[in-house]
Amino acid sequence: MRNEFSYEEKCECAQSSFCTFVEDLEDYSNEEKSYLTKIIVGNNLSGILYVSSALAAWSFIAGVIDAILFPGVIVYAIFHGVIDVKVLIPPMAFLALNFSAKLLYVAINLKGKVKLIDVFISALPYAGSAYLLKKFLINDQLLSKAVISYLKMKKQDVKNRFLKVFGNRK
């Protein structure tokens, strides 16, 4: 890393897989790498990427649960001829607990890095991950390009690990 960074910034960058990814890129000039490193370290972008990816996985799992709970209520209503309040409690409780847990998770992990309204929006079902990425990437084309490259690399890593674990079985 270049000398223009403080010791704390160098340590922060070394702990961030996204920052080290940017430092190792050959597609960017030194000025572009320096600019990206300042943004990553200054805005804790790695933390935001981590929370965003956790929210994406969370939404996938919650979607599977929703796909079981809500049709279950409909099937129950068809067979019993009426929707009872007791039947609506599990889906509504899941929705409330899911929102509350996401709210707490985002608030703790991004404390002081995003506004309160951003915490609430990112806790919404299925929208949190996309909202965080849009909020921090939409205005910076260079940063967007670097994040997309990083996410592609991470996706390939996960794919390779998956194939390593499940590909060796015959």
The predicted structure's pLDDT at residue 104: 93
Distance CA 90, CA 94 (A): 6
- Rounded to an integer, the average pLDDT of 84-96 is 81
Q: Where are the beta strands (DSSP E) in 54-99?
A: none
CB–CB of 168/70 below 8 Å? no
The predicted structure's pLDDT at residue 2: 47
Angstrom CA distances, 48 to 12, 38, 109, 135, stand at 14, 15, 8, 10
Distance CA 44, CA 31 (A): 20
The predicted structure's pLDDT at residue 119: 87
Q: In which residue are the tokens 């070394």 written?
A: 14
Residues 6+ apart with CB under 8 A from 110: 44, 47, 48, 51, 118, 119
Residue of 96, 11, 72, 95 whose CA lies nearest to 46: 11
Q: Is residue 3 scored above 70 in pLDDT?
A: no
Is the model more confident about 63 or about 137? 63
The predicted structure's pLDDT at residue 43: 67
Predicted TM-score (pTM) of the model is 0.67
Distance CA 89, CA 95 (A): 10
The predicted structure's pLDDT at residue 57: 84
- Rounded to an integer, the average pLDDT of 72-91 is 77
The predicted structure's pLDDT at residue 44: 63
**CA count, 13 A, side-chain hemisphere, 147:** 22
